[in-house]
Every structure is written in structure tokens, then in C-alpha cells.
Amino acid sequence: MSERLDVLRLGYRKGRDPRITTHLALVARAMGADGFLLAGDEDKEMFDNLNSVSDRFGGQLDTNHVGGLSHLRKHVESGGVAVHLTMYGEPFRKAIPKIRRDRPVLIVVGGAKVPGDVYKICQYNVAVGNQPHSEVAALALFMDAWFGESASEREFDDARLIIEGVNGGKLVHDLEDDSE
Ligand code: SAM
């Protein structure tokens, strides 16, 4: 069984970036993270929406509000591995084989301004290309490379709804609906 993997979103500002942050959490869940941690403003409504996605589509994504730097420090001090996604890092495909997988992993993504300490506390600063782009894109590409193709092909045993893509349409299987 692999170690736990959580995603920490720093600097969340309620009312300014709820869509981006929700998308980050959805990518984290879909690609196999165990938890999504929010530092910055609290947002119960966002967590309720995420829990509702997990109820319907399966999987268990723990959602928690944490202090950003204090949580990161605690994680590293207790032996965890912290990977900061930043355009100022080492290319992700080169970095991934060096990252320890025998410890709980925390993937850190920034918001508007990332405190300098984050670069020092994290054992790995990893870039998904050296251009500025999006935390959602960076997380998706990193997790796909971390888990291999099993990330984007992930299925959840406890899903209530399963979507089957077909050319030109879709099939929705509702496993609680006996009439199907
Ligand atoms: N200007 C901010 C700073 O102080 O670093 C960065 C803002 S950027 C829109 C938000 C986040 O997206 C970053 O903190 C980083 O986690 C992620 N990101 C953006 N471009 C990236 C890249 N090329 N590689 C890895 N992560 C990236």
C-alpha cells in the first residue's frame, strides 16, 4: 500500500479564486490524492461541494482547513516529504524519480504570492516547465507523472455514478437506480 498523498493549497482568498481552488481539489481527488488541505480563508461551502462530488462519484477525499506554513513545517518535521510546485524548480520528470515514496507526501501549490520560506522548508521544488501558468495544470501534469496513467484512468469502488464516454454522447450509470 502506498503512502498517503495530500495537496496543500496556500493563500486561498474566499471570493477571489473559488473556481480555481475547487478545480485544484477536483484534480487532486480524481487523480488519487487522499486529502485536500486549504490554507488561507475558510470555505465550508467549497468543502460541502467537494464532499458531494465524492458521495456521487466515489473515493474519499479528506478536506481540511490548516495553517499553511505551520502545517508544512509540522509535516516535514514529522518525517514527511514536501514537494512544492513552482516555475522556479527542477523539471518534474527529472525530479520525480528522486522523490521518496516511503513517506507521506504533501504537494504544495501557491496562490498569488508564495512566502520565501516555502522554498526552503520543502525538500523538493519542482517545475512543470519554467513558464508561469496555472496551479491546476501543474498539479494535473505532476500527478499524472507521479502515478503513471493510473492517475487519469482512476476508478472508485464506491462510486454511485459512473460515466462512460461514447463517441457523440455519454452513458451515465446510476448504480442505485434498479431500472437501468
Ligand atoms: N507569483 C506567484 C509566486 O509568488 O510564485 C505564483 C502564482 S501562480 C499563478 C500560482 C501557482 O501555480 C504557483 O504558486 C505554483 O504552485 C503553480 N505554478 C504556476 N506555474 C508553474 C510551473 N511552471 N510549474 C509548477 N508550478 C507552477
pLDDT digits (tens, 9 = 90+) for 158-168: 777 777 777 77
Atom of ligand 1 nearest to the CA of 130: 23
Query: Which residue of 107, 109, 141 sits with most ligand 1 atoms within 8 Å of its CB, as the best mutation to test the pocket?
Result: 109
Atom of ligand 1 nearest to the CA of 131: 23
Q: Which of 130, 121, 120, 117 is nearest to 90 (CA)?
A: 130
- Ligand 1 is surrounded, with C-beta below 6 A, by 85-87, 109-110, 113-114, 127-129, 131-133, 135, 138
Residue 27, C-beta contacts closer than 8 angstroms, at least 6 positions apart: 136, 139, 140, 143
Q: What is the pLDDT of residues 28-65, one digit of tens each?
A: 999 999 999 999 999 999 999 999 999 899 888 999 99
Find the 14 Cα to ligand 1 centroid distance in Å: 19
The dihedral built from the CA positions of residue 58, 60, 66 and 69, taken in this order, carries a sign that is negative
Confidence of residue 178 (pLDDT cuts 50, 70, 90): low
Q: Give the pLDDT of residue 63.
A: 96
The amino acid that residue 67 corresponds to is G
Give the closest residue (by CA) to ligand 1 atom 7: 112
| This prediction's pTM | 0.91
| Centroid of chain to Cα 6 | 6
Would you tell me how many other CB atoms lie within 10 Å of the CB of residue 78? 9
Give the closest residue (by CA) to ligand 1 atom 9: 134
Classify residue 4 as exposed, middle or buried by CB count within 10 Å of its CB (0-12, 13-18, 19+). middle
Name the CATH superfamily for 5-153.
SPOUT methyltransferase, trefoil knot domain (3.40.1280.10)
Q: What percent of the chain has pLDDT over 90?
A: 72
- Structural contact between residues 75 and 108, judged by C-beta atoms closer than 8 angstroms: no
